[in-house]
Amino acid sequence: MASHTGIGSRMIMSKSVTFMATCLLVLLISVDASTINIKNQCPQTITACSASQSASTACYVLGGGSGSQLIDVGSNWPGGIVWGFPGSSGNPVDGNNAKPQANLAEFTIGASGQDYYDISVVNAYNLPMQIDAIGRAGSGTNCGTIQCSIPNVTSFCQPPNTLTGGPGNGCYNHDGPNTGAPTQGTQAFKNVCPETITFTTDTTGTVYGCSTGTNYEVVFCY
């Protein structure tokens, strides 16, 4: 009777190699994938939202002082945006209405081995925001922390800028979307938040970059 020991050994070895290859693939994917931890350190409840070119708006109610939501954006998240507004709506419709009334954390994850991120007040400002790179924070170009905080939006928001009302409850940057150069209106934002993008071409020193695989935090009221 012929022995099947050799065939069995080859089958076990083949399964072992396949298993190891699968584990390696999973490891490689996990190394390059990114997460964004959205945290609310404001005293009041807020609704935080996220969206991208490949994903529709999702919103999360974050309790005051300790609320958080971890989102897994993988290794490719183009045109990613995170923003927030006061209250416990949690409704994506309200979130989309609040977006042009809010400052935005903007991300491009996985662009040829690099991530890029910034805080934009081109449209408006409504809540203190910080983006922090964690994990691989030592790599990339200008890979670090961006912050923007305006303590009293009502007193800050002077002509030509105007208050937005609800749901964002912020201050519109009147000239931001329509100018390629600083104006009196955009400069008011730049004076308080120099690290942010304040008009459409204000990208010098305001766009940060880290190696793909870095994890991030977006903190409201840091």
Break the chain into its structural domains and give their ranges: 1-32, 33-220
Residue range 82-115, pLDDT digits in tens:
999 999 999 999 999 999 999 999 999 998 889 9
| Residues forming beta bridges with residue 131, ordered by sequence position | 146, 218
For residues 75 and 88, what is the distance between their CA atoms, to the nearest angstrom?
A: 30
Q: What is the pLDDT of residue 210?
A: 93
Amino acid at 173: N
Q: Is 175 exposed, middle or buried (0-12, 13-18, 19+ CB in 10 A)?
A: buried
For the chain, list the strands marked E by DSSP.
Answer: 34-40, 46-52, 55-62, 67-74, 77-86, 104-111, 114-120, 124-125, 129-134, 146-148, 162-163, 171-172, 208-211, 215-220
- Domain 33-220: assigned CATH number: 2.60.110.10
Q: How many CA atoms lie within 13 A of 7 on its CB side?
A: 3
- The pLDDT profile of the chain, 222 residues, written as one tens digit per residue, is 444 445 454 444 444 444 444 443 433 444 579 999 999 999 999 999 999 998 999 999 999 999 999 999 999 999 999 999 999 999 999 999 999 999 999 999 998 889 999 999 999 999 999 999 997 766 666 899 999 999 999 999 999 999 999 999 999 999 999 999 999 999 999 999 999 999 999 999 999 999 999 999 999 999
Q: What is the pLDDT of residue 139?
A: 60
Amino acid at 222: Y
Residue range 18-43, pLDDT digits in tens:
444 444 343 344 457 999 999 999 99
- Which DSSP letter does residue 197 get? B
Both tokens assigned to 147 = 């912050």
